[in-house]
Chain A
Amino acid sequence: MDDIRLLSSLQSSPEEGIKSLMDKYVKLVYTIVSARLDGVYSDDEVYEYVSDVFVEVYKSRDRIDLGKGTLKAYICVIAKNKAVDALRKSSSRVRAESIEEQDTDLTSSFSVEDECFDNETREEILYAVNSLKEPDREIIIRKFYFSESGKMIAKHLGMTENAVNVRVHRALKKLKEILC
Chain B
Amino acid sequence: MKLEDFFDSLDITRTDELIKGGMPENELPKSAYDKIQKSVMKKAGISKGFKIKILLIAAVCASFAVIFTAFAVFYIKNADNDNHGFTGGESASETEQSTDEKNDILHIGDDLVMGDMLVDGGVLWIDDDVEDEEDPDGEREPAADILPSIPNEDVPEADETVSVDEEICDDTENESVIIDTNAVYVQYEGLSVTEKLKAVYSNRNYDGRYIAVLVKLANEPTQEFLKAEKKLERLYDELDQVRDTIERLSTLLHYGEYLAEYQIGGNGVMLDENKYQSITEYIGDLADIYITDGVFLKHEAEEKMSEYCLEEIRLEKECEQATLEYERANNIKLVSSKALTEYFISLGFSAERTDKNNSTIVMVKYGDLARIRSAIDGSFEYSSEEFLFSIAKITDKAVYSSDNDKIPTEETTCVSAEETDLMEETAVQIYEE
Interface residues of A (CB under 8 A from B): 14-15, 18-19, 22, 26-28, 30-31, 34, 43-44, 47-48, 50-52, 54-55, 58-59, 68-70, 72-74, 76-77, 80-81, 84-85, 88, 93-94, 97, 104, 107-108, 110-114, 117-119, 121-123, 125-126, 129-130, 137-138, 140-147, 156, 172, 175
Q: Which of A48, A72, A146 contacts B39 (CB 8 A)?
A: A48
Is residue B136 contacting chain A, with contact meaning CB distance below 8 A? no
Q: Which of B1, B19, B254 contacts A81 (CB 8 A)?
A: B254
B21 touches A137 (CB 8 A): yes
Q: Tell me which residues across on chain B come within 8 A of A143, comparing CB atoms.
A: 4
Is residue B65 contacting chain A, with contact meaning CB distance below 8 A? no
- Interface-lining segment among B9-17, B92-100, B372-380: B9-17
Identify the closest chain A residue to B43 (Cβ).
A55
B266 touches A15 (CB 8 A): no
Q: Tell me which residues across on chain A come within 8 A of B15, comparing CB atoms.
A: 69, 73, 76-77
B interface bracket (residues with beta carbon within 8 Å of A): 35 or more
Is residue B77 contacting chain A, with contact meaning CB distance below 8 A? no
B46 touches A18 (CB 8 A): yes
Supply 23 A–B pairs (Cβ within 8 Å), ascending by A. A30-B36, A31-B23, A31-B24, A44-B35, A69-B13, A72-B16, A76-B23, A81-B254, A93-B309, A93-B313, A104-B4, A107-B2, A108-B2, A112-B2, A112-B6, A122-B14, A122-B266, A129-B18, A130-B21, A138-B22, A141-B24, A145-B18, A146-B24
Is residue B164 contacting chain A, with contact meaning CB distance below 8 A? no
Identify the closest chain B residue to A58 (Cβ).
B44
Identify the closest chain A residue to B15 (Cβ).
A73
- Tally inter-chain residue pairs, CB-CB below 8 A: 163
B257 touches A111 (CB 8 A): no
Is residue B135 contacting chain A, with contact meaning CB distance below 8 A? no
Q: Bound state CA distance, A22 and B28, in angstroms? A: 12
Residues A141 and B43 in contact in the complex (CB < 8 Å), given A22-B36, A27-B26, A73-B12:
no
Is residue B150 contacting chain A, with contact meaning CB distance below 8 A? no
B266 touches A19 (CB 8 A): no
Q: Bound state CA distance, A28 and B33, in angstroms? A: 12
A97 touches B3 (CB 8 A): no
A18 touches B313 (CB 8 A): no
B44 touches A14 (CB 8 A): yes
For residue A27, give the distance in angstroms from its CB to the closest CB of chain B: 4
For residue B196, give the distance in angstroms from its CB to the closest CB of chain A: 38
Identify the closest chain A residue to B23 (Cβ).
A28
Q: Which of B16, B26, B250 contacts A73 (CB 8 A)?
A: B16
Is residue B354 contacting chain A, with contact meaning CB distance below 8 A? no
A50 touches B36 (CB 8 A): yes
Interface residues of B (CB under 8 A from A): 1-4, 6-8, 10-28, 32-33, 35-37, 39-41, 43-44, 46-48, 246, 250, 254, 257, 265-267, 309-310, 313, 316
Q: Is the interface of B mostly helix, strand, loop or mixed?
A: helix
Q: Which of A55, A97, A119, A137 contacts B44 (CB 8 A)?
A: A55
Q: Bound state CA distance, A80 and B19, in angstroms? A: 14
A117 touches B1 (CB 8 A): yes
B33 touches A22 (CB 8 A): yes
Identify the closest chain B residue to A171 (Cβ).
B3
Q: Bound state CA distance, A141 and B26, in angstroms? A: 13
Q: Tell me which residues across on chain A come within 8 A of B313, comparing CB atoms.
A: 93-94, 97
Q: Tell me which residues across on chain A come within 8 A of B4, comparing CB atoms.
A: 104, 107, 143-145, 147
B39 touches A47 (CB 8 A): yes
Residues A88 and B250 in contact in the complex (CB < 8 Å), given A52-B43, A112-B6:
yes
Q: Which of B7, B18, B41 contacts A15 (CB 8 A)?
A: B41
B3 touches A144 (CB 8 A): yes
Q: Tell me which residues across on chain A come within 8 A of B41, comparing CB atoms.
A: 15, 18
Q: Which of A15, A73, A81, A129 contacts B21 (CB 8 A)?
A: A129
Give me the 5 closest cross-chain CB pairs, A-B, nearest first.
Answer: A130-B21, A69-B12, A51-B39, A73-B16, A69-B16
Identify the closest chain A residue to B5 (Cβ).
A111
A141 touches B23 (CB 8 A): yes
For residue B112, give the distance in angstroms from its CB to the closest CB of chain A: 40
Q: Bound state CA distance, A93 and B7, in angstroms? A: 20
A111 touches B266 (CB 8 A): no
A172 touches B24 (CB 8 A): no
Q: Bound state CA distance, A175 and B17, in angstroms? A: 17
Q: Tell me which residues across on chain A come within 8 A of B1, comparing CB atoms.
A: 111-114, 117
B246 touches A88 (CB 8 A): yes
Supply 16 further A-B pairs (C-beta < 8 A) apart from A72-B23, A144-B2: A15-B48, A19-B37, A30-B26, A44-B35, A54-B36, A54-B44, A104-B4, A110-B3, A112-B6, A119-B265, A130-B17, A130-B18, A138-B24, A140-B3, A144-B4, A156-B26
Q: Bound state CA distance, A130 and B22, in angstroms? A: 9
B26 touches A107 (CB 8 A): no
Q: Bound state CA distance, A104 and B266, in angstroms? A: 23
Q: Tell me which residues across on chain A come within 8 A of B257, comparing CB atoms.
A: 77, 81
For residue A106, give the distance in angstroms from its CB to the closest CB of chain B: 11
For B6, B19, B24, B36, the residue with the greatest tally of chain A CB atoms inside 10 Å of its CB is B24
Q: Bound state CA distance, A147 and B2, in angstroms? A: 12
Q: Tell me which residues across on chain B come within 8 A of A27, comparing CB atoms.
A: 25-28
Q: Tell me which residues across on chain B come within 8 A of A47, comparing CB atoms.
A: 32, 35-36, 39
Q: Bound state CA distance, A158 and B19, in angstroms? A: 22
Identify the closest chain B residue to A30 (Cβ).
B28
Q: Tell me which residues across on chain B come within 8 A of A113, comparing CB atoms.
A: 1
Q: Tell me which residues across on chain A come within 8 A of B36, comparing CB atoms.
A: 22, 26, 30, 47, 50-51, 54
Q: Bound state CA distance, A142 and B22, in angstroms? A: 12
